[in-house]
Amino acid sequence: MTANKTHDPALKSVLPYDADTDFPIQNLPFGVAHLSDGRNAICTRIGDWVVDLSVLEAGGVLDGTLLSGRQVFAQSELNAFMALGPEARREARTVLSSVLGDREETSSEQSALIDRAKIAVGDVTMRLPAEIPGYTDFYSSMHHAMNVGEIIRGKGNELMPNWTRLPVGYDGRASSVVVSGTEFHRPMGQSRPSPDADPVFGVCRRLDFEVEMGFFIGAGSAWGEPIHVGQATEHVFGLVVLNDWSARDIQAWEYQPLGPFLAKSFCTSISPWVVTLEALAPFSADRMPQDPEPFPYLKSDQATAYDIWLDVFLAPANGTETRIATTNYKWMYWTLEQQLAHHTSNGCNVRPGDLMGSGTISGPEKQNRGSLLELSWGGREPIALEGGESRTFIEDGDTVRIAGYCQGDGYRIGFGDVSGTVLPARV
């Protein structure tokens, strides 16, 4: 996927925005906003403006395109648009870039149409962008896997034998995926206080975040037909920032032999704006070296990484926010193309709106670690916060916020934040 005129740093919009916005006209993400009239509307965002795409669609701007007459933007979620595949999405991006661009020949009718479609971002509430049929979470960061393996099994025994052979993953719960800003209660579950003690049922004591990216499936696949790694991006609609909250003490007791269950299924938070692969095209990066060489079904010269920075902030209740980590999606070992190819290699089908989590993203240095399990090294090294407090794991009232962005030449492509606040357990 190559850059085109929609990425031109010189492009400006008829809707004004600050130079450091996450949402310049080069971005054009898609999301669902709850409006003052009670509707959930498919929108894009430019600066501090949300643009109701159903208004533009009704005004005829998509006439003559692959989207003409389909009324996909009159829906209350993105699934119908996602299902149309990459060509429809690329055409929509080209049209929106032109319509919302700052051009001398903009007609008075078009200006009036944009005025009807624009809404101040502070006047809407963001919803989940799609109905999510299924959710899969991977475990694909070498740095994260090495750190966690050393904490749990000791140095020299970090990776399981399969880790460098396939993208390890598990099926999560789509029902508990929530949009940024949603509060949730600390989970309850079984844990074992020490290796020689009996298990107990009670409040999670080692609650953690996981810095991830998530990708949404656009065009689905037929049951029984694997997606070739070289065609995988044709089935990816776009990316969001994802926080896969984790109950570490519950997980340690329950995960063998079948893997994560209640320790993961209570809450997963995502940012509301889906940034398309087209917007990310200028930010492709070389993927990490893979040794041993992947099997042929996972090998492709097209598989790339993306240079997406992720900053993690933690704020106690009524306290000052502290940035506690910075990591980057380009440090993933397995790429999204390889993850999707492996996911479908057994004939498993995917559907529009399916969500795939990258797995925790960690980098080479301590400040690049993507979870408190790693940052506090299993709870043994507390993390200092502004105001004098410290953390080994998340406490009640804490808010964790993750901000993702790509830095371009004179502009920035952002995803917005994914945040969540932890409430006391319901005991």
Residues 234 and 314 in one domain: yes
Tracing tokens 């997406």 back to the chain, one arrives at 308
Query: Residues for the chain: how many in total?
Result: 427
CA separation for the pair 401, 417 (Å, rounded): 6
Residue 357 belongs to domain with CATH number? 3.90.850.10
Kindly give the parts of the chain with pLDDT less than 50: none
Of residues 293, 264, 281, 315, the one with CA closest to residue 420: 315
CA separation for the pair 276, 281 (Å, rounded): 9
CA separation for the pair 233, 63 (Å, rounded): 27
pLDDT digits (tens, 9 = 90+) for 48-98: 999 999 999 999 999 999 999 999 999 999 999 999 999 999 999 999 999
Residues 61 and 151 in one domain: no
In the structure encoding, which two tokens stand for residue 67, read together?
């989207």
Q: Are strands 125-127 and 135-138 parallel, antiparallel or unpaired?
A: unpaired
Of the residues 81, 102, 127, which one is the last residue of a structural domain? 127
Residues 256 and 380 in one domain: yes
Q: What's the pLDDT score for residue 300? A: 85
**Do 247 and 263 meet the contact criterion of CB atoms below 8 Å apart?**
yes
Q: What's the pLDDT score for residue 103? A: 72
Q: What's the pLDDT score for residue 117? A: 98
* Residues pairing with 33 in the sheet: 41, 126
Residues 72 and 171 in one domain: no
Residues 16 and 74 in one domain: yes
Q: What's the pLDDT score for residue 358? A: 98
Q: What's the pLDDT score for residue 135? A: 98
Q: What's the pLDDT score for residue 4? A: 83
Of residues 311, 314, 313, the one with CA closest to residue 394: 314
Of residues 314, 265, 218, 283, the one with CA closest to residue 415: 283
Question: How many domains does the chain fold into?
Answer: 2
Q: What's the pLDDT score for residue 1? A: 61
Catalytic residues, which ones? 144
* Domain encompassing residue 212: 135-423
Q: What's the pLDDT score for residue 85? A: 97
Can you say how many angstroms the Cα of residue 58 is from the centroid of all Cα atoms in its chain? Answer: 30
